Amino acid sequence: MKDISENKSMPLLGDKFPDMKVQTTHGQMELPNHFAGKWFVLFSHPADFTPVCTTEFVAFQKRYDNFKALHCELIGLSVDQVFAHIKWEEWIKENMDVEIQFPIIADTGLVAEKLGLIHPGKGTNTVRAVFVVDVKSNIRTILYYPQELGRNIDEILRIVEAMQIADKNKVAMPANWPNNEIVGDHVIIPPATDTKTAKERLERASAGEFECFDWWLCHKKLGK
């Protein structure tokens, strides 16, 4: 994997998450080592004490146990001082009865620059970015949202679960999994890359090993 710590380019899928020391509401941390052996989701928000961001943090917290069940941690980020994060957490607790339990990075702008979180065409605050990072510290998914659009947290949870299943079973995940319009909750078998395997696919499908629409579109239920 390419190590992006040697340059200032924005990270790409498959890159190692860059090494960095950050100040958070849970103290100083070294990323990605702090989450060694776990998946983690780093997500940036434009600013504390803003309406859409508040709805997002409540939604993330309400699903925090679901992320932890997948051995996945959460960490937020914005270019705000740590005391602002703490006061915002207190406001959410007092007014929404939700206690934010995951750390939030207090960025000076250096992390945002390294991760490409400020897009001049959308203002000077960090955009709503999401980085899904696996147990080997590889960046597996990157999402960018404009400041005016709140994220679907269930989709981010689905991404983590789907990527873990894909890794474990050496399969691909269809659109809208686990409710795909063609194959339901089945997973996709990677297409054959040579004529011998292509021929064998249909023979194996006839034997009931999996199902195929054609040799290049085969699927199966997990566990089969």
Residue 53 annotated among the catalytic residues of the structure: yes
* Omega within 30 of 0 (cis) for the link into 146: no
DSSP states along 1-21: --BGGGS-SPP-TTPBPPPEE
- Cβ burial of 211 (10 Å; 0-12, 13-18, 19+) is middle
Query: Are 139 and 116 within 8 A, CB to CB?
Result: no
Query: Are 41 and 132 within 8 A, CB to CB?
Result: yes
Dig out the tokens for 75 from the structure: 């960490």
Which residue in 53, 72, 212, 218 is the catalytic one?
A: 53
Query: Would you please indicate which residues are annotated as catalytic (active-site) residues?
Result: 53
